[in-house]
Amino acid sequence: MKQKTIKNKVEIIGIGLHKGVPVKMELEPLGVDSGIVFYRSDLGLSIPLKPENVVDTTMATVLGMGDARVSTIEHLLSAIAAYGIDNIRICLDNEEVPIMDGSSIGYCMLIEEAGIAVQNAPKRAIAIKKPIEIQDDKKFVRVEPSEKMIFDFSIDFNHPAIRQQHYKFTFNTKAYKEEIARARTFGFLHEVNYLRSQGLAKGGDLSNCIVLDESSILNKEGLRYKEEFVRHKILDAIGDMALLGMPLLGTYVSFAGSHKLNHLLTKQLLSDEKAFEIVSFEDKAEEESLEYAFGTH
């Protein structure tokens, strides 16, 4: 199995969720072993996708370098991971990735428009060798050894439209589009009002977010999936784990995980050399093993 980039440059103009300002985003191909790189075209500054460049996880995953910031990156990264793209440059003329409809399906369509290019270098993955867990009271995120990439998530909200939800997702691109990509971000009306008072969520509305009052969902069209809330948590987790810089060969398990816990997990994992190994798939037998692990058969 080889590394991948996109075939053609594509662009889109959208609104940032928190700042509410228009932003132009361009996706560009990159050469082998380049990784995922964000580029602030208005500042002329590149920010590589690395855990040490994460500067905030309060309401989204935010990268920073010097005075430059790139915010709300997790939905786009989730789609990039879903298509197995290793090398790509994401150019933005403002500090937020466009929110689209609050899910990642729009990014999936953009990547399909660009096309996928297979590159002449072996794909690498991070294979989990022992469990690593981050806890915060009852909340936790954990990675553990597995022959496949699996995301197993549970949530419990004291709200009649959510309650307890659980979803286990065995990774492959087709299943991602069908089961995960259309799940939207969500928030509570009282939180939205508070965020706006703090200068955030200015671009959020019912077209790009599931909004709940004390007892119900305010979106007239209702939900896209029965477990849309927990499926969106998986969407976020896939994007946050992309900070590792290569695909995760293992099982991710969480109860009430967050961007903060996901970030701490990636840092803890990479700091423990006994917890993982980087595997490169160069011969036919290894290629078949990787295809099995990532569900591409």
b/e map 57-90, b = 16+ CB within 10 Å: bebbbbbebeebbbbbbbbbbbbbbbbbbbbbbb
Q: Residue positions in the annotated binding site for Zn(2+)?
A: 75, 232, 236
Tell me which of 18, 159, 190, 259 is the catalytic residue: 259
> CA angle at residue 22 from 19 to 26, to 5 degrees?
115
Token readout for 156 is 């419990």
Residue numbering of the annotated binding site:
75, 232, 236
Contact 118, 2 (CB under 8 A): yes
Closest CA to 18 of 80, 74, 79, 60: 60
Q: What are the backbone angles phi and psi of residue 31, rounded to the nearest 5°?
A: -75, 170
Q: Are 256 and 158 in contact (CB under 8 A)?
A: no
For residue 76, report the phi and psi dihedrals to the nearest 5 degrees: -65, -45
Task: Note if 18 is an active site residue.
Answer: no
Which residue in the block uniquely carries the two structure tokens 């099982």?
A: 251
What residues act catalytically?
259
